[in-house]
Amino acid sequence: MELPANVPSLVRNRTTQDPHGNNDTEPNPDAKQNEGTSENKQHNKNAISDQGGWNGGLVMVGVIAVALAVIIKGFSNTTPVTFGEPFDKSLFTGYLQAETLGRSIRHLRKTTSTMDDAAQLLESLTPQDAHGYTVIADVQTKARGRKGRKWHASSIDNLYASFLWVPSQVNNPPSSRELPHHLVQLNVAVCLAVALALEREGAPNVGVKWPNDVWIDGKKAAGVLVDYHGKVGSSGAVVGVGINVNEELVDRSVNIKSSVGAISLRDAVGSGVSRERVLAVLLTELEYLMSVTFETVLGKYQELD
């Protein structure tokens, strides 16, 4: 098929010139005669311009095609959320981007308190092995919040986890004088990391309430507890988080903003959410927040307070 003379073509370019600029088809007898005319030079410039525009268009089409392929692949790789299933450690590991937090993990189908389980690990493990160790339970029978308050933790569809933070094992460890300040930053950073994880899932109007609550649309969605253990050889903090992820806590027939009490991520976004992804994002965000200045963390916290 012969292409019209006014249509730029990569095919035509390949068939009329070799890599060295020599013609590989029948020479044009008028070429030399027209070579030096100003009209021919202008024609050549226009042809080059047209070719550049055509090439640019092809590149843009290619970029769009690749972007669409990545988006489609991302949707196809999304693991559907199932309810009433145990926490999936392999799925969590796939989401996790933190370097140390969550790299060692213990999953329990049922326990009294992940805070107690983690505290025992703090005493039995070396500081190097303890830092970042995470305990997750599908159900807790004696979960607790601040000042020993009972925490409802019987739904397998929520997230109950405790992990160890050992100050001596972080980059630029705090001195004994700096330790109290470091622990205050930890408390603030954990609440902020939870809030950021909720926002990542699309929760609206996420806020924090000092010292340890995270809210969605004015209702409690999560709680944080930080217990510091200063024993010789096992100095560190046990950090507990409880997040309402997939338990339906709000009557859907009532407007969320007008109802009272607790709320879950599922209530807020209208669909199931991966507990594994929420925890992975939380730990990844926390690791970053503890690597920056307290002023940076506090400034972001105050935006949500």
**How far is the C-alpha of 145 from the C-alpha of 113, rounded, in Å?**
11
In 3-state terms, what secondary structure has residue 108? strand
Q: Which residue has the higher pLDDT, 216 or 11?
A: 216
**How far is the C-alpha of 126 from the C-alpha of 113, rounded, in Å?**
22
What is the per-residue pLDDT across 96-141, written as a single tens digit (0 to 9) for each? Answer: 999 999 999 999 999 999 999 999 999 999 999 999 999 999 999 9
Most confident stretch, 53-57, 152-156, 212-216: 212-216
pLDDT in the model for residue 273: 97
pLDDT in the model for residue 60: 55
pTM of the entire structure? 0.72
pLDDT in the model for residue 79: 63
- Share of residues in the chain with pLDDT > 90 (%): 60
pLDDT band at residue 209 under the 50/70/90 scheme: very high
pLDDT in the model for residue 80: 79
What value does the mean pLDDT take over residues 258-282?
90
Q: What is the mean pLDDT of the chain?
A: 79
Q: Residue 87: which residues within 8 A CB-CB, separation 6 or more?
A: 107, 136, 138, 275, 276
Q: Please give the structure tokens belonging to residue 25.
A: 């088809």
Residue 260 Cα distances to 215, 217, 223, 254, 293, angstroms: 12, 10, 17, 10, 36
DSSP letter for each residue of 244-256: --S---S-TTS-G
pLDDT in the model for residue 255: 53
Burial class (CB in 10 A: 0-12, 13-18, 19+), 213: middle
**How far is the C-alpha of 157 from the C-alpha of 62, rounded, in Å?**
42
Q: Which residue has the higher pLDDT, 93 or 254?
A: 93
Residue 269 Cα distances to 189, 214, 272, angstroms: 24, 16, 8
What value does the mean pLDDT take over residues 60-76?
42
Q: Which residue has the higher pLDDT, 66 or 90?
A: 90
DSSP state of 84: S
pLDDT at 67 over 90: no
Residue 294 Cα distances to 99, 188, 246, angstroms: 20, 9, 32
Burial class (CB in 10 A: 0-12, 13-18, 19+), 108: middle
What is the per-residue pLDDT across 212-239, written as a single tens digit (0 to 9) for each? Answer: 999 999 999 999 999 999 865 568 999 9
pLDDT in the model for residue 61: 46
- Structure-derived torsion over alpha carbons of residues 160, 166, 172, 173, reported in degrees to the nearest 10: 140
pLDDT in the model for residue 29: 44
Residue 264 Cα distances to 91, 133, 157, 214, angstroms: 21, 26, 10, 11
**How far is the C-alpha of 161 from the C-alpha of 246, rounded, in Å?**
15
